[in-house]
Structure 1
Amino acid sequence: MYSLWRRLLFRYDPERAHEWAVRGLESLQSFPALLSLSRKFYAVENPALEVSLWGLSFPNPVGLAAGFDKNATVYPALSAFGFGHIEVGTITPLPQPGNRKPRLFRLPREEALINRMGFNNRGARQAMEHFTRLPRPRLPIGINIGKNRNTPNEQAFQDYRCSLRALYRHGDYFVINISSPNTEGLRDLHRPEALKPLLEDILGEREVLREETGEIRPLLLKISPDLTDEALETAVDVSLEAGIDGFIATNTTLSREGISSPLREEAGGLSGRPLAKRSTEVIRRIFRHTDGRVPIIGTGGIFTGEDAYEKIRAGASLVQVYTGMIYRGPSIARKINRELLQLLKRDGFSHIRQAVGKDA
């Protein structure tokens, strides 16, 4: 069924098609009965898939990555499609339009996307209003936060602290995004001399908010796939020393290895199938380097249960999809979870946590 819709949608500009999808989901949220039916249809409920991390309960390990629900407007509808968690954003303190259009490109032959969106969003205040108004799903909601493009890196901590404070009561976990290639200079924040004070400032703000609210929210760092192995391990060490609670591996890549499409020359981050191998390598290296002491969410090129399982066996406790949903449709979480149950049974595991890091 989705293949027919995809054929139609792929005739149009990718960003326009995405806007139509968001509007459709907003309309769906007006019909609670339809949402309830969707949940029953897409849900795969099995204790073997339930994951507990950071004091949070995930009904299954397959989440939706940041980038789809940029403004926290449709996470209630998205939660009806069988995901174990939803991550919204990236959200910046102030609204910003992002980069000039066109800025999103499909590469169907490679099952990939190139984007140079540039953190286009309506800002933290608008997101806060959406969270206050919309119903809360029964699954964890993550909030991905970034800096405004005009904020110098030396002052980036102010942007992250501002968004964290504004949205603290609404997120179950927060992701510090320093790895998008589409905001000039952002990835420079991976360098230890920049990363250490940045994380210390953000974690310090988290401590103040913990005292104010009585609640502690886990903070994760989203890692670039384009770091050298040495730079990756250094960033991990600095992050753990500062007190980070986990990692997301990885963001999009600037590499065009194996891409034959003429669109390979477009600037921006590449996601989808071509990213799968590198993101798995980064997951495995982080898991080995930390002896599996810190949770990892794996993302990049996940289309099937085998793809997800590969990342879990490399060291990911949870996984996220995005490009895979664009190509495979809203039933992707259901399909992946069903396949994961088969793979666990094949390998003699009674629970998903038994597979984490087995190939690391």
Structure 2
Amino acid sequence: MSLVSLASRLARPFLLATDPETGHNLAVAALKTLPVPRCGSDDPRLAVSAFGLSFPNPIGLAAGFDKHAEVPDACLRLGFGFVEVGGVTPRPQDGNPKPRVFRLVPDEAVINRYGLNSVGVDVVARRLADRARRGGIVGVNIGPNKDSTDRVADYGLLVEQLAPHVSYLSVNVSSPNTPGLRDLQQAGFLDEVLARSMEARDRVAPGRPILVKIAPDLSLDGLDDMVRVSRKRGIDGMIVSNTTIDRPASLKDQATAKEAGGLSGRPLFDRSTAMLAEAFRRVEGQFPLVGVGGIASAEDAWTKIAAGATLVQLYSAMVFRGFGLVGEIREGLSQRLSRDGRASIGEVVGTANADWRMG
């Protein structure tokens, strides 16, 4: 067991006993102040090339953990192949009133309604610029201010200020906690958002990859629209998916399930994986997909990749399983490659796509 895994396991009961948002803040503070030993070297078979970037492994930290770009390098040392910070808004905003994060412990799930709380683009841009020369793949998730009168312009401003300092940008049009944001997933709005974002990108950082992050609650017609506009605009990748507003009947903690907000964690796995597989079929290899939602083991990561993901991201599972989970997934993927006689993780992408369909 690694030092990170041991420390994380010892700290977990304490963190789970705290208020969820306090626990989150303590975890970030620990990474900020304590020495984080670098995880061992990556198995070269886990290396991935996507949207012009070379990833040491396909496991990423999803947006929402390092909201304010405070600890991207510490997270990379945990073993992540890439880290996505944010979401970031143009102006600072507090987000929704507390409490706004809730654990469903028996379900290994989280409900959050943070509402894109952000220190604002100026602070985040400075932090990212300060660490840019350290290397490692660090992306940023961007979204408009809640009270914005021109959300399309917000995306352009964010791209202009952040693109020079990051490896890629993720255009968030799917958070359930900013009123009206998911309306930007409609074809006409999405087309405007992507057009403005790419114009800004081309001015300040030509070629910087732009990805779109979508909701798992889209209809298949809605997904068709998202993919059609994304292909037309020539985006570099799609992240599938954000949290869900759905509440599966299978949830054990039905009392907490009544809280408003986006549900993440294990109950999201099947829905997000089916959406991923549907997107893979529609994208037809035009750009790679990032699979997110419910990953808590190497087997989960393998399943996402086989469904069509070139890369994967996780976050909620660390709430219940600790930082050592990243190393466990890396090791598990390597073992599975050996067992299946695969030369690289890229060989697995889409191999079980037909097993997943939206209901």
Q: Which TM-score band (shorter chain)? A: over 0.9
Q: Compute the TM-score of the two structures, normalised by the length of structure 1.
A: 0.93
Tell whether the 8 Å contact from 2:142 to 2:172 is kept in structure 1 after alignment: yes
Q: Kindly report which structure 2 residues correspond to 1:1-360, keeping only aligned pairs within 5 A, or say none.
A: 1=6, 2-28=8-34, 34-35=35-36, 38-39=37-38, 42-134=39-131, 136-152=133-149, 155-210=150-205, 215-257=206-248, 258-261=250-253, 262-360=255-353
Tell whether the 8 Å contact from 1:82 to 1:333 is kept in structure 2 after alignment: yes
Percent sequence identity over aligned pairs: 44
Aligned-partner Cα distance in 2 for 1:136–1:91: 21
TM-aligned CA deviation for residue 209 of structure 1: 2.1
Aligned-partner Cα distance in 1 for 2:331–2:293: 20
Tell whether the 8 Å contact from 1:62 to 1:85 is kept in structure 2 after alignment: yes
Q: Compute the TM-score of the two structures, normalised by the length of structure 2.
A: 0.93
Aligned-partner residue type, residue 301 of structure 1 = G
SS in 1 for 2:212: strand
Aligned-partner residue type, residue 326 of structure 2 = A
Aligned-partner Cα distance in 2 for 1:125–1:141: 17
Tell whether the 8 Å contact from 1:76 to 1:136 is kept in structure 2 after alignment: no
Provide, for residues 51-110 of structure 1, a one-character-per-residue CA deviation record: whole Å limited to 9, x for no partner.
111221111000100111111111111111000000000000100000000000001100
Aligned-partner residue type, residue 20 of structure 1 = L
Aligned-partner residue type, residue 229 of structure 1 = L
Provide, for residues 321-345 of structure 1, a one-character-per-residue CA deviation record: whole Å limited to 9, x for no partner.
1001111111111110111111122
Match of 1:31 in 2: none
TM-aligned CA deviation for residue 282 of structure 1: 1.1
Tell whether the 8 Å contact from 1:292 to 1:315 is kept in structure 2 after alignment: no
Aligned-partner Cα distance in 1 for 2:40–2:259: 38
Aligned-partner residue type, residue 209 of structure 2 = P
TM-aligned CA deviation for residue 131 of structure 1: 1.9
| Cα RMSD (Å) | 1.3
* Matched length: 345
Q: Describe the shift of the 1:195–1:132 C-alpha distance in structure 2 as closer, same or farther (beyond 3 A).
A: closer
Provide, for residues 275-307 of structure 1, a one-character-per-residue CA deviation record: whole Å limited to 9, x for no partner.
000111111111111223310011100010000
Tell whether the 8 Å contact from 2:132 to 2:166 is kept in structure 1 after alignment: no
Q: Describe the shift of the 1:135–1:178 C-alpha distance in structure 2 as closer, same or farther (beyond 3 A).
A: closer
261-270 or 327-336, which deviates more: 327-336
Q: What residue ranges of structure 2 are gaps of 5+ in the alignment?
A: 1-5, 354-359
SS in 1 for 2:165: coil
Aligned-partner residue type, residue 251 of structure 2 = I
Provide, for residues 3-47 of structure 1, a one-character-per-residue CA deviation record: whole Å limited to 9, x for no partner.
44211111110101111122222213xxxxx44xx11xx234111
Aligned-partner residue type, residue 229 of structure 2 = V
Tell whether the 8 Å contact from 2:157 to 2:200 is kept in structure 1 after alignment: no
TM-aligned CA deviation for residue 200 of structure 1: 1.3
TM-aligned CA deviation for residue 346 of structure 1: 2.2
Tell whether the 8 Å contact from 1:303 to 1:324 is kept in structure 2 after alignment: yes
Provide, for residues 244-273 of structure 1, a one-character-per-residue CA deviation record: whole Å limited to 9, x for no partner.
111000000011112231101000000000
Aligned-partner Cα distance in 2 for 1:196–1:352: 33
Aligned-partner Cα distance in 1 for 2:286–2:275: 15
